[in-house]
Structure 1
Amino acid sequence: MKLYAVSDGPPSLAVRMTLKALDIQYELINVDFCALEHRTEDYAKMNPQKEIPVLDDNGFYLSESIAIMQYLCDKYAPNSTIYPQDVNLRALINQRLCFNMGFYYNPISSHSMAPIFFDYKRTPMSLKRVENALEVFETYLDRLGTKYAAGDNVTIADFALVSATLCLEAINFDLSPYPLVQRWYFAFKEEYPQLWEIANSGMQEIKAFEQNPPDLSEMNHPFHPTRKHPKA
């Protein structure tokens, strides 16, 4: 098994946490995002979307981090608590995964990552979108009343949401106005240090880029900054 990933990409980090949680052995192949390695024709043979990550499971290629995490659990650990078989529990996990993909990670990435890797500015509107996403997550945690995003046990939904939230920590965003989100985030760090080690490695890279942004003129990136981030 091979995972083509970018070292600081939140979706890649979520998949790597899943592989670690399931104790699956694999070869990690780092894709150089700044060098546009994901834009090559060879990469497109694995993923026509030319996005990261991609899983190669003995010639079976799978993209989209959510699909990869679900596949790994279904094939290699069908009884795992990180993606349980119970229909209602799984439905809630899937909802949180969709929430992260469509509502939570996108504004966070646009506000935190896009200004680093694209000609894109942080604005009051981009901040408002992040605050709105955090407010909704806070509401979910409040209504469910559990330690983690979809229950009292950690699940792949938490891996995705943690990998998004760490982008905010990387730019020193204050989570204290969202006490339940902050408690959830710190609980994950404390209770799953080996998984957080993976997440933190990416967060530290983002933090370093935040302090010393790459030369955008040298990247010659073909994407407009408002389009879907290629680290998806």
Structure 2
Amino acid sequence: MKLYSVSDGPPSLACQQALKALNLDYQLINVDYGKGQHMTDEYAQLNPQKEIPTFIDDDLVIGESNAILQYLGDKYDVNGILYPKDPKTRAIVNHRLCFNLAMYYRNISEYVMAPIFFDYKRTPLGLKKLKISLDVFETYLKKSNGKYAAGDKLTIADFPLNTATMCLEAIKFSLSEWPHIEKWYNNFKINHPDLWNIAAQGMKEITYFEANPPDLSHMDHPIHPTRKI
């Protein structure tokens, strides 16, 4: 198994957490985002979207962190602990994965990550969208009254939500207005220090880049405007 990963990328870190939780041996291949290694023709042969992460297991080559997490759960979580087999319980896990991708991490990334690496500004609208996402997640956690994102047990849904929330801590954004999120987030750190350490390493890099924005003007990105230093 191989995981092409970026060292401070929440989707990559979520996949690393899952691989760690499942005690799987794999080769970690660091993709240097700053050097544009994900934009090369060679990488595009693995991932035509030129996005990170990409996962390889025998003849399977896939991108999209949700798909990777679900595959790992299906194939390697034989007891259905991290990826429950009960349809209703699994539906909640799948929902949280979709929620993170479509709303939670999307709005966090636009507010936290894009202004660090590309020519975007933190705006009142971006902050409003971020707070709406936090309000929604707070509601889900309050209604479920569980210890984890999808209930009373750790699942693959916790990994991307945890690494997304880590971005907020990296810029010292307080979660005090969202006590259920804050409690869930801190409990993850306390109860799963080996998994949290994976996110913590990425958080250190994001905090550094927040204070010292990288110069990516050399990188010809097809979508995002390059930030000028």
CA–CA distance in structure 2, aligned partners of residues 156 and 10 of structure 1: 14
What does residue 73 of structure 2 align with? 73
Q: Which runs of 5+ in 2 are unaligned?
A: none
For normalisation by structure 2, the TM-score amounts to 0.96
The answer to whether the aligner puts 1:13 opposite 2:13 as a matched pair is yes
CA–CA distance in structure 1, aligned partners of residues 13 and 33 of structure 2: 14
Alignment of 1:82-161 (within 5 A): 82-161=82-161
CA–CA distance in structure 2, aligned partners of residues 73 and 220 of structure 1: 36
What does residue 23 of structure 2 align with? 23
- 1:60 offset after TM fit, Å? 1.5
CA–CA distance in structure 2, aligned partners of residues 39 and 77 of structure 1: 33
**Higher RCO, 1 or 2 (CA under 8 Å, sep at least 6)?**
1
Checking the alignment, whether the CA contact within 8 Å between 2:73 and 2:156 is kept in structure 1 is no
1:126-178 alpha-carbon deviations (Å, 9 max, x no partner):
01110000000000011111111101111110101001000000011010000
CA–CA distance in structure 2, aligned partners of residues 162 and 100 of structure 1: 10
Q: Which runs of 5+ in 1 are unaligned?
A: 226-232
- What percentage of aligned pairs have identical amino acids? 58
1:46-99 alpha-carbon deviations (Å, 9 max, x no partner):
111111000011231011101101111111223131111111110000000000
Detail structure 1 runs of 4+ shifted over 6 Å in the superposition. none
Q: What is the root-mean-square deviation in Å for CA atoms of aligned residues?
A: 1.0
Alignment of 1:210-221 (within 5 A): 210-221=210-221
For normalisation by structure 1, the TM-score amounts to 0.95
Checking the alignment, whether the CA contact within 8 Å between 1:78 and 1:84 is kept in structure 2 is no
Checking the alignment, whether the CA contact within 8 Å between 1:119 and 1:216 is kept in structure 2 is no
Alignment of 1:203-214 (within 5 A): 203-214=203-214
